[in-house]
Structure 1
Amino acid sequence: MLHFNFNSTEPIYLQVANQLEEAIFTKAFLDGTQVPSTTEISKEFHINPATVLKGMNILVNDGLLEKRRGLGMFVTEGAYMKLLERRKESFYQDYIVKMIQEAKKLGMNEDDLIELVKRGVD
């Protein structure tokens, strides 16, 4: 499930955060379930535990993971929905806004755009 690219320019701690976030989004880890421990991840992938913890703490700060003293890290309730909403907004900003800007340059109106979207979906 988790895999890391040690030759990437992306720091390992960010890869840890991104991999765990993706696992939550794809429901590999459901709301309320425990994720692998820092020790488990660091041993399995030969990563410094502090690096793994740094990545996990990004998700704690984002409200996607919670630390339960003596038990480990767990996916927070509502984490999936939070990610879904965040990704929908990102999709809108990254794709839809740019598409509308380009359509305006091409002299297209709303009906033209809707027709193109329907053509792409069918």
Structure 2
Amino acid sequence: MILNMDGTKPIYLQISEWLEREILNRNFESDQKIYSQYQLAEMFTINPATAAKGLTLLVEENILYKKRGLGMFVASNAKEIITNKRKNQTLKRLVVEIVMEAERLDVSKEELIQMIRDVKTGEAGE
């Protein structure tokens, strides 16, 4: 992953979202130790405090937990928490944007649903 240093999204959020993707992609399983703030800082050439902020965010969301003196570990229900969070925030926001754009373009509900079906079945034309 390459961080967008010039973007508007804070780097610590990019780190936490990257770790979430790694968990969703099963690169980290429940109760598995994850990278330390220093490992993340070295991997992405960032300040360890910035990496720590990303990790702390995931601890606050109960996606990670700390074992004193051992590091950070993936919570047993991390994947479920991430999935629910992304459904309720990211996906919902995207759906609202799509529906609003469809309304501006006079795309009917049926057309929009068919477009979604086509994308899911791989039949969508670019």
1:77 is aligned to: 76
Residues 114 and 76 of structure 1: is their aligned pair in 2 closer, same or farther, counting only changes over 3 Å? same
Q: TM-score, normalised by structure 2?
A: 0.72
Q: Is the 8 A contact 1:59 1:65 kept in 2?
A: yes
RMSD: 2.7
How far does residue 28 in structure 1 lie from its aligned partner after superposition?
Answer: 1.6
CA deviations over 1:33-53 (Å, ceiling 9, x no partner): 111111212233332211111
1: CA distance between counterparts of 2:29 and 2:53?
21
How far does residue 114 in structure 1 lie from its aligned partner after superposition?
Answer: 5.0
Instruction: Report the number of matched residues.
Output: 119
Unaligned ranges ≥5, structure 2:
122-126
1: CA distance between counterparts of 2:6 and 2:111?
44
Runs of 4+ in structure 1 over 3 Å off: 97-109, 111-122
Q: TM-score, normalised by structure 1?
A: 0.74
How far does residue 56 in structure 1 lie from its aligned partner after superposition?
Answer: 0.7
Unaligned ranges ≥5, structure 1:
none
Residues 34 and 114 of structure 1: is their aligned pair in 2 closer, same or farther, counting only changes over 3 Å? same
2: CA distance between counterparts of 1:11 and 1:107?
35
Q: Percent identity of the aligned residues?
A: 33
